[in-house]
Structure 1
Amino acid sequence: MAAEQNAGSLDSAFYQPADAFFPAQAGLALTYDDLTLSTLYSETLPRDTSLDTELAGGLCLHLPIISADMDTVTESRMATGMALNGGLGLIHYNMPEKQQLKEVSRVKNHVHGLIQEPITVAPDKTVGDVIELIETKRYSFSTFPVVGDDRKLVGLLSGNVLKPRYAAKQVTSALVPRDQVQTLRESQLGADPIAIADQFFTDHPGINKLLVVNDSDELCGLFTLSDIERITTEKLSQFRPARDDHFRLLCGAAVSTPRNDAGELDRERIESHVGALIERGADVVAVSTAHGHSKGVGNAVALIRAAYPDLPLIAGNVTTAAGVEYLADQGANIIKIGQGPGSICTTRLVAGVGIPQMTALYVASQAAKAKGVSLLADGGITKSGDIVKALTLVDGVICGGLLAGCPETPGQVMEISGKLYKQYRGMG
C-alpha cells in the first residue's frame, strides 16, 4: 500500500492534469509537438469506446472530425465521405451560391430514409417528356410517383416503360394504377419509420418502392428498398454514418458576410442565402475569418441567430477566452479555435498574430465551459496523435491539409518530376 501511495505521489509530481499543467506554463505557449499525454489505469477496451459527440442541439457526430471549409478540401464528394464515416464536411463558399446549394443537395440526397418530397410526374405528360426530364436533370433513378394537381396519388410510373419505343404514350396509359400500388399511411409510420419500412419490404418480396400517403391519399413520401438496406446494414458497421432525423447524411456549409454599398452587412442577401441552405437540408452553417473576435463577425452571427434561432451555428476563428465569450454572446453554438496553426496558413507570418494551439485550446476551453458552447480545434492537425491531444480539451477537430490529398477533394491533380500531387491552398 505504501509503495502504491509513493508511486501515486511521484506520478502527480511529474504528470499533471490540464488545469494544473497549463497555468504552470503561463507565459509559455505550447503547441501539439510540445507535449504528450500520460496514461492512467483503465478497464475500457477499444471496442467499448464511443466518440459520439453532440456539438449543438440535434447535431451529433459519431466521429468528431470535420473537413475544413476550404476550396481545395470540401465539396459534396468530401462531405459525403466524411458523413458516411460519422464525421461532417463544411462545404466552402468560394463558388456561386446556387452551386453551393447544389453541393449541399448532393450530400443530403446521397441515401435517404423517408424521401419527404420525391420527384413526381404529372399524368398528362408523355413517356418521352419523362425520359427528357431524366436526361436533363441527370437523375440516377427512373421510377416516379404520378400525382395530380391536387397532390393525390394517381399511380406509379416504372422505369421498365421509360423506353424510346413508348415515348408517345401518355403517362396515364403507361403507369401502374393507384389500386395496384403498395402504400403506407403516414399514421402507420410510428416512432421508427425505418423499422416499419424494413419489415414491409421483407413481407413483400419484389417490391422496391413504398409510397407514403396521408388520410386524403396525398403523397407524403417515398421509401426505397436500396436505401433501407443500406441504413439497416449501417447499424452493424464499425463506423456509423452521421445522419439527421430524416436519415439523410449530415452536411454543413460556410457562408460569406457580404456588405452593401453603404458598407453595412447585406441582411437580405445573408438571410436569403442561409435560408436557402436550410431548405436544402444543411445541418449547420459556419461564419469564420482569421479574426473572429471582431464587430463584423459578431454582427453577422447575431444577424443569422436572430433570423434562425434553432440553427446550429459555427463561428470563429479566435484564440482567447474573451473571443469565445464574445461569439457565444452573439449566438454561436460552436466556436473555432486557431489563428495561424495550419500548415499553409499565413496569418502568423503576414500579420504576426496567433497563439500556439494547445495553449489556445486550453484557454478557450475554460470560457466554453462557462458559456456552454462547443469548441473545434481548427488547424495544425498533422498526425492522428494531434487529434487525440486536441480532444482532451475540445469537442472536435477540423482537418484541412491532412485530407487534402484524398481522392474526394476537389483539388487539381498535378504531376511533378514523375510524382502525383494535389493542389492545396489556404483559402477558406
Structure 2
Amino acid sequence: MGFKDKLARAEQLFGFDTVYLVPGRAEVEPNEVDIRTRFSRNVPLLVPVVSSPMDTVTEHELAIVLALHGALGVIHRNMPVEQQVEEVRKVKEHPPIRLRIAYLRPSDSCAYALEIMRQLGVRSLPVVDGTTVSGYVYFSELEKECHSGHERVRDSTKPGKTYSVKSVNEARLDVVRGVTDAAAIVLSNGNYVGTLLVSDALEELTPLLDNEGRLRVAAAISPFDKERALKLDKHVDALVSDVAHFHNSNVIKAARNLVKEITSDFVAGNIGTYNAAIDVVSEIERIDGLRVGIAGGSICTTAFVGGAYAPTLWAVASVRDALKEMGADDTPVIADGGIRSSGDAVKALAAGASSVMLGYVFAGTDEAAAPLIAMGEKLYKPYRGMASKGAMSRRFAADRYTRLVKRAAEGVEGLVAYKGPAAKVLKEFIEGIKAGLGYAGARNIAELWEKAVFGIAPRKYTIGEINE
C-alpha cells in the first residue's frame, strides 16, 4: 500500500465533540436508572466514576469522599512507596461515614475557638494535642471563661468521650440524639481521625465497601515496579497500571510476570486500539480491567508532541469490539481522558465503557491533592499532566514519565478554578449521567450499550466558550 493510499484510507477518529447521542424512547425516569457497574472483574461500583491517579488529583482525601458516595479513587504513584501505602491505609481505616477535620489546638485563642464553633454551628469541639484528643471545649463555658481572663483553649479543655472507628455507629447515635454534636473519632492507637458533626450524621450515604466493610480504594503502579505492587497488594482492591503506552512488548512481558504474584485485581493500560486489546488480553494470563484512551486528556500534549492519538471515545469502541470478538466481553473498560462533562461520560459509556476516569472534573475540589491558591479575588488549584515537567521532576515514575525515559514533556501545567466540595461535584455529575441514560431510553449501562444511537453533528460550543 502506498503512502497516499494510507492517507486515503485513514479512519475517522471520533471524539466527544464530534458525535452525540440520538434521543430514544424512555421507559423509566432518570431517578429510576440503575448505574451500578464494575471497575474491574471483582471490584463493583455503585456509580460509574473513578478518579485519575494524578498527583494534583487523587490522594486519600478524594478517595475517601468518592468511596463514601459509591465511586472509587485511584491513588497516584508519584511518591515513595511507603507514602502510597499510607495513603491507601488512610482510606481503608476511615469509617464508612463522613467525617470532618474539625478540631481545636490547645494553643488556639478563645476568640478563635468561638468563631470556629459559630461557623460550624456546634456547641462543642474536640481539642487535639499533636495527634491525640486531649478533651473538648464547650461554647457556653468557653464564652464565660474568655471573659474571666482565660486566653487559650488549653485553659478551658474538659475531659470528653472519644469513639473508635469500630464504634462509629454509637457515635452517630449519640450525635443524632443530642448527647454531643461533635464526636471525635480515633484509631485503636488513639490517633485522631476526624470529627462527626450533626449535619454529617444525618446524611444518607451508600458507600462502596469491600467484603470486610471497609471503603474500597485502588492504587496506580508500574508493571516494572514489582516491589511497589507487592507492598500495595496487601491493602488495595485493585492495582492499576499507569503506563502511557501499555501496548509495548516489554510492558506486556513485565505485566505477564507481575500478575502471577499479586492477588488484587489488575487493570492494564493505557491502550487505545483494537489490536492492543487483542494482544494484551491474549498474552497476559489475567486481565481484570482495561484503562482505555491515549492522548485524549485535557492537559495531555502527546498528540502535539508525538503525533499519536487514540481519542477516548473511538478507543473505547475499538477495544470493546475486540473484547467481544475474543469472548472476553465481561472485561470492564475504563474510559480515560478528555471527559470534561457528564455528557462526555454518557457518550463514553454508550460506546462500551463500564466506567469513566476523571481528572479535570475533580481538580479544583476541596479534596484534590493540590494546594489552594488565591489570585486576586479568585481561588484556584494547580493541575498538571503526569507527563508534564513538574510531575516528571518528582522522579517517582521513572519508567513512564521522567526524563530517564522521555526527554520531551507530554503534558502541561496550569490552574483550574476552585470548585468546592468533591461530593457536590460528583452528585451533579451523576445526575447528568442518569439524565443521559434517560434520553437514550436505557434503564442501565448494559442496556445503553444496546440501545445507544450515535449521530454526527457540527461541533457545539461549550457553556464556558459561550460565556467567554
Which bin holds the TM-score, normalised by the shorter protein? 0.5 to 0.7
Question: Does the Cα contact within 8 Å between 2:41 and 2:331 map onto a contact in 1?
Answer: no
Q: Deviation of residue 109 (structure 1)? A: 1.0
Q: Counterpart of 2:213?
A: 247
Deviation readout 1:198-228 (Å, 9 max, x if unpaired): 9x99xxxx9x9xxxxxxxxxxxxxxxxx99x
Question: Does the Cα contact within 8 Å between 1:368 and 1:375 map onto a contact in 2?
Answer: no
After superposing on structure 2, the runs of 4+ consecutive aligned residues of structure 1 that deviate more than 4 Å are: 139-142, 229-234
For 1:345 and 1:230, locate their aligned partners in 2 and report how far apart those are by CA, in whole Å: 40
Shift of the 46–26 alpha-carbon distance from structure 1 to 2, 3 Å rule, reads farther
The one of 245, 265, 283 aligned to 1:312: 265
TM-score by length of structure 2 reads: 0.57
1:388 aligns with 2:346: yes
For 1:275 and 1:357, locate their aligned partners in 2 and report how far apart those are by CA, in whole Å: 30
Identity fraction in percent: 32
353-362 vs 30-39, which moves further: 353-362
Question: Does the Cα contact within 8 Å between 1:368 and 1:374 map onto a contact in 2?
Answer: no
The one of 76, 84, 91 aligned to 1:107: 91
Question: Does the Cα contact within 8 Å between 1:361 and 1:377 map onto a contact in 2?
Answer: yes
Q: Counterpart of 1:11?
A: none
Deviation readout 1:288-324 (Å, 9 max, x if unpaired): 2111101232123222210125x21111111111211
Q: Secondary structure at the match of 1:60?
A: strand
Q: Counterpart of 2:19?
A: 35
Q: Counterpart of 1:96?
A: 80
Shift of the 141–297 alpha-carbon distance from structure 1 to 2, 3 Å rule, reads farther
For 2:201 and 2:209, locate their aligned partners in 1 and report how far apart those are by CA, in whole Å: 13
For 2:312 and 2:40, locate their aligned partners in 1 and report how far apart those are by CA, in whole Å: 23
Q: Deviation of residue 412 (structure 1)? A: 2.7
For 1:327 and 1:140, locate their aligned partners in 2 and report how far apart those are by CA, in whole Å: 51
For 1:334 and 1:306, locate their aligned partners in 2 and report how far apart those are by CA, in whole Å: 16
For 1:57 and 1:141, locate their aligned partners in 2 and report how far apart those are by CA, in whole Å: 45
Deviation readout 1:176-195 (Å, 9 max, x if unpaired): xxxxxxxxxxxxxxxxxx99
Question: Does the Cα contact within 8 Å between 1:290 and 1:347 map onto a contact in 2?
Answer: no
For 1:384 and 1:50, locate their aligned partners in 2 and report how far apart those are by CA, in whole Å: 16
Q: Counterpart of 2:297?
A: 342
For 1:92 and 1:140, locate their aligned partners in 2 and report how far apart those are by CA, in whole Å: 31
1:332 aligns with 2:287: yes
For 1:232 and 1:332, locate their aligned partners in 2 and report how far apart those are by CA, in whole Å: 39
Question: Does the Cα contact within 8 Å between 1:376 and 1:397 map onto a contact in 2?
Answer: yes
Q: Counterpart of 2:356?
A: 397
Question: Does the Cα contact within 8 Å between 1:327 and 1:335 map onto a contact in 2?
Answer: no
Higher relative contact order (CA closer than 8 Å, sequence separation 6+) = 2
Q: Secondary structure at the match of 2:39?
A: strand
Q: Secondary structure at the match of 1:88?
A: coil
For 1:426 and 1:58, locate their aligned partners in 2 and report how far apart those are by CA, in whole Å: 29
Q: Deviation of residue 233 (structure 1)? A: 7.4
Instruction: Tell me which amino acid in the other structure corresponds to 1:332.
Output: I
How do residues 160-239 of structure 1 correspond to structure 2 at under 5 angstroms? 237=205
The one of 42, 58, 62 aligned to 2:46: 62
| Count of aligned residue pairs for this structure pair | 308
Q: Counterpart of 1:356?
A: 311
The runs of 5 or more residues in structure 2 that have no matched partner are 1-8, 98-127, 136-167, 184-194, 388-468
Question: Does the Cα contact within 8 Å between 1:61 and 1:86 map onto a contact in 2?
Answer: yes
Shift of the 244–404 alpha-carbon distance from structure 1 to 2, 3 Å rule, reads same
For 2:308 and 2:222, locate their aligned partners in 1 and report how far apart those are by CA, in whole Å: 22
Q: Counterpart of 2:104?
A: none
Q: Deviation of residue 352 (structure 1)? A: 0.7
Deviation readout 1:341-382 (Å, 9 max, x if unpaired): 111101111111112332221111111233231111100111
The runs of 5 or more residues in structure 1 that have no matched partner are 1-24, 114-133, 143-193, 209-225, 258-264
Q: Which has the larger radius of gyration?
A: 1
Q: Counterpart of 1:323?
A: 276
Q: CA RMSD in A?
A: 4.0
Q: Counterpart of 1:186?
A: none
Instruction: Tell me which amino acid in the other structure corresponds to 2:275.
Output: A
Instruction: Tell me which amino acid in the other structure corresponds to 2:211.
Output: D
Deviation readout 1:3-37 (Å, 9 max, x if unpaired): xxxxxxxxxxxxxxxxxxxxxx9821210110111
1:299 aligns with 2:253: yes
Q: Secondary structure at the match of 2:73?
A: strand
Question: Does the Cα contact within 8 Å between 2:272 and 2:316 map onto a contact in 1?
Answer: yes
Q: Counterpart of 1:256?
A: 222
Question: Does the Cα contact within 8 Å between 1:341 and 1:380 map onto a contact in 2?
Answer: yes
Instruction: Tell me which amino acid in the other structure corresponds to 1:335.
Output: L
Q: Deviation of residue 135 (structure 1)? A: 6.4
For 1:109 and 1:290, locate their aligned partners in 2 and report how far apart those are by CA, in whole Å: 31
1:79 aligns with 2:63: yes
Q: Deviation of residue 139 (structure 1)? A: 5.2
Shift of the 232–81 alpha-carbon distance from structure 1 to 2, 3 Å rule, reads closer
For 1:230 and 1:341, locate their aligned partners in 2 and report how far apart those are by CA, in whole Å: 39
Instruction: Tell me which amino acid in the other structure corresponds to 2:276.
Output: G
Shift of the 231–298 alpha-carbon distance from structure 1 to 2, 3 Å rule, reads farther
Q: Counterpart of 2:335?
A: 377
For 2:288 and 2:199, locate their aligned partners in 1 and report how far apart those are by CA, in whole Å: 32
Instruction: Tell me which amino acid in the other structure corresponds to 1:245.
Output: N
The one of 377, 385, 406 aligned to 2:365: 406
Q: Deviation of residue 413 (structure 1)? A: 2.5
Shift of the 141–348 alpha-carbon distance from structure 1 to 2, 3 Å rule, reads farther
For 1:326 and 1:250, locate their aligned partners in 2 and report how far apart those are by CA, in whole Å: 30
Instruction: Tell me which amino acid in the other structure corresponds to 2:297.
Output: G
